[in-house]
Chains A and B, each alone.
Chain A
Amino acid sequence: MFGLSKKQPIAEHEATGEIERVYYEIKQSLRVTGVNLNFRTWAAYGEFLPLVWDVMRPNVETWAFESAADRLRSDAVRSVAELGPPAVRSHVSLGESQSFQIRAALDLYHYVNPKLLVFSSAVLLLLQGEEVGRATTQEADRLPRGVPPTMYSMEMESEQPDDEHLMELYRDIKNSLSLRSINSDYRTLALWPDYLSAAWQALKPLVQTPMHQDAANQLRETALTLARGLPYPVSLDLQAVKDAGAEIEEVVEITESFVQLLPGLILNMARLQLDWREVAELEESPFPAPSPQFEKEGVS
């Protein structure tokens, strides 16, 4: 079963000390309004998250990392485009504000999920003893820190909601995707339970199809390649991971589960987006980073 750990993830509001510091840096460097489940889960393993974050951060803050995620997003959109819009909207009665916010929430995850896959793939390689990144003789272009000004908040329903119908829906999602914890994406969409219910009815029949699995495998392979090609060569001292109090076998297992899970999630969010936006628009980043050239000019 994926997702995850036997340990309780550390929520943003529960974070203190080093975890609080790392959560803040993650949001600023990944340019996102919240901390996703993979980080919250790793945070439960002693000092593992600060250790791996400090190793990975120089790469995360590069334009190359952003471009890698852009590539995955674009690949995912092309994979689901031929399926056409899932027509979830037409099955749910949504108000204008609700529609606006659902679209904004989908943009958020459409943006961040590919970044999570690149990051998780890199962490998996590091845990397997590989060096990530290729030697570079010059400094890579840096991405500006900070959350895009119009990005939706990463607001989520409780994982244990009072609503029995929603709880049942969570159970179905978890069973179908072999999850222990429900992902941030679905918990955010649960703010509009009728929408999540209809969305899941549209997604569920597809997730086990060969086409979906092939597309997910392809994304996974591409992500590993892109992770290997990040600009700065880094490695992880596995003894240091053990010394940091992390049960390394369990950390490897949950990291594998993220790498296994995220491609399908990227495809699902891209598919839902087809109800709201054109394919060409979806292939582009919803929150494009300023180009390195622009940044250089800004600095000078």
Chain B
Amino acid sequence: MNWRSFQQLQKVVEIGDSFISYIDEGKGPPVVLIHGIPMWGYLWHQQIPALAETHRVLVPDLLGFGFSDKRDCFDRSISRQAEVIDQWMNALDIDQAVIVAHDIGGGVALRLATLFPHRVSKLCLLNTVCYDSWPIELMLQAGHPETKRKMSASTATNVLSHALKQGFSHSPDASVMEGLLAPYRTEVGKLSLIRNASALNTNLTTEITSRLPEIRVPALILWGEDDKFQLLKYGERLAWDIPSASLIRIENARHFVMLDQPDQVSRHLVDFLATPSESPRLEASPNGPSATVKR
């Protein structure tokens, strides 16, 4: 599916003075897929069809990202994004959902799971930010306010496109890369991306580190093991800290694991969604290092 077709499927809901665009496909228990930076919901386009066979698949563009509100007048931190997801779920009348998240979307998901635990029925994290694993150098540079003067939107998109190739085990199809960066090709999009990057804040994951063992829902950690942006050691640490977590390493995959190994990731997600929500291991060892590490 090309990005234009994907965009055409997006619905919209207003949250206060802002708006969130999102995909809502399939019927069944809700599952929410959250992207990272500098992405949008299109990141998940290869997983949505498989998940929508059994679930209601909801894919928001975070505030300031994709085709959600991109004005230069609001907080884009993962703290605010978690609140927005909470409000967005309210607006859609969804009490609880399986949360699947990547990159800073994982930071949002971790805040949801620790601070809004009633919202999360299961948790799946893919190559996510956590602890002090972030921001990466590329995004720190992108977030400097002067970046808006240093390069035009088209130059910024070209630079980003080149830099992001490090996040793939093999070069993605040119049309996919174009689609991933499509919302940021304008000056407004570029500025929004700069503001998104400037909102990246390590403290917003370190402040919840001590609460990770409180996460009681079944958790799956999928990690492209060759990731240079979010190293595998962080996935292993999450699997250690979250009592109910399992870790699956994905070979021949880097940061954008869902695009590097789309079928494998879809399969693992389908299997995870099919497992019961209650985790038996949780009761056996709620606070200990009970992660099952698979290879």
Q: Name A residues whose Cβ lies closer than 8 Å to a Cβ of B.
A: 11-14, 16, 33, 93-98, 100-101, 147, 149-150, 152-158, 191
Chain A's nearest CB lies how many Å from the CB of B57? 16
What A residues does B11 contact at CB under 8 A? 95-97
Q: Interface SS of chain B: helix, strand, loop or mixed?
A: mixed
| Those 3 A-B pairs whose CB atoms lie nearest each other, nearest first | A155-B188, A97-B10, A97-B12
- Give the CA-CA distance A5 to B190 in the complex, in Å: 27
Known: A96-B10, A96-B12. 17 other contacts (CB 8 A): A13-B148, A13-B187, A13-B190, A16-B149, A97-B11, A100-B12, A101-B12, A101-B67, A149-B17, A153-B70, A153-B71, A153-B188, A155-B70, A155-B186, A156-B187, A156-B188, A191-B186
Chain A's nearest CB lies how many Å from the CB of B141? 17
Q: Are B187 and A98 in contact (CB under 8 A)?
A: no
**Which of A97, A100, A147, A154 is the most central at the interface, judged by chain B CB atoms within 10 Å of its CB?**
A97
B21: nearest chain-A partner, CB-CB? A97
Q: Are A158 and B186 in contact (CB under 8 A)?
A: yes
Tell me if B9 counts as interface (CB < 8 A to partner A). yes
Given A13-B149, A155-B186: A98 and B154 interface contact (C-beta under 8 Å): no
Tell me if B275 counts as interface (CB < 8 A to partner A). no
**Which of A14, A16, A100 is the most central at the interface, judged by chain B CB atoms within 10 Å of its CB?**
A100
What B residues does A100 contact at CB under 8 A? 12, 19
Chain B's nearest CB lies how many Å from the CB of A190? 10
Q: Are B148 and A95 in contact (CB under 8 A)?
A: no
What B residues does A94 contact at CB under 8 A? 8
Tell me if B189 counts as interface (CB < 8 A to partner A). yes
20 A/B residue pairs, CB under 8 Å, sorted by A: A13-B148, A13-B149, A13-B152, A13-B187, A16-B149, A95-B7, A95-B11, A97-B7, A97-B22, A152-B71, A153-B70, A153-B188, A154-B188, A155-B188, A156-B187, A156-B188, A157-B186, A158-B153, A158-B154, A158-B186
Chain A's nearest CB lies how many Å from the CB of B67? 6
Tell me if B200 counts as interface (CB < 8 A to partner A). no
**Which of B11, B71, B148 is the most central at the interface, judged by chain A CB atoms within 10 Å of its CB?**
B71
Tell me if B247 counts as interface (CB < 8 A to partner A). no
What B residues does A154 contact at CB under 8 A? 188
Tell me if B126 counts as interface (CB < 8 A to partner A). no
B16: nearest chain-A partner, CB-CB? A149
B:9-29 near A, CB below 8 Å: 9-12, 17, 19, 21-22
What A residues does B48 contact at CB under 8 A? none
What A residues does B154 contact at CB under 8 A? 158
- Give the CA-CA distance A149 to B17 in the complex, in Å: 6
B187: nearest chain-A partner, CB-CB? A13
- Give the CA-CA distance A12 to B149 in the complex, in Å: 9
Tell me if B109 counts as interface (CB < 8 A to partner A). no
Tell me if B191 counts as interface (CB < 8 A to partner A). yes
What B residues does A157 contact at CB under 8 A? 186
Q: Are B7 and A150 in contact (CB under 8 A)?
A: no
- Give the CA-CA distance A158 to B152 in the complex, in Å: 11
- Give the CA-CA distance A11 to B152 in the complex, in Å: 10
- Give the CA-CA distance A11 to B8 in the complex, in Å: 29
A192: nearest chain-B partner, CB-CB? B7
